[in-house]
Amino acid sequence: MQIRLLEKQKDSVRLEIVNADDTVIYPLITALLKDPDVEDALYYTGHPQLDKPVLTVKVKKGSPQAALKRVAEGLAGEFGGAKALLEKELA
């Protein structure tokens, strides 16, 4: 998966996602929408053969880049914890 910055404003960013992996994208969007600083998170897939998916993040306060980083780190922690629990239980 590759991410390319399409547009950057004070309170929003638009990112093109090449070879998007829905197992990563949908938890990211869900977590962004739960973040109190995020006003909106939109994921537009468009036509599967003609368009690349675009993620738009708009924040109420702070920077959209900080919100993305904060949410991604939270998800990494959650999935890391789940991995450790599974390894412990399956050992």
Q: What's the domain range around 72?
A: 2-90
Indicate the average pLDDT of the chain: 92
CB distance 46 to 34 below 8 Å = no
Of residues 45 and 59, more confidently modeled: 59
CATH number, domain at 82? 3.30.1360.10
Please identify which residue in the block is written with the tokens 């890391």.
80
The C-alpha R_g of the chain, in whole angstroms, comes to 15
Please identify which residue in the block is written with the tokens 């962004």.
32
Please identify which residue in the block is written with the tokens 């675009």.
54
Q: At 54, is the secondary structure helix, strand, or coil?
A: strand
pLDDT per position as a tens digit, 23-50 = 889 999 999 999 999 999 999 998 988 9
Tokens linked to 54: 């675009």
Helices assigned H by DSSP within the chain = 22-34, 64-90
pLDDT per position as a tens digit, 4-24 = 999 999 999 999 988 878 888
User: Domains in the chain: how many in total?
Assistant: 1
Distance between CA 73 and CA 49 in Å, rounded? 31
pLDDT, residue 23, reads 84
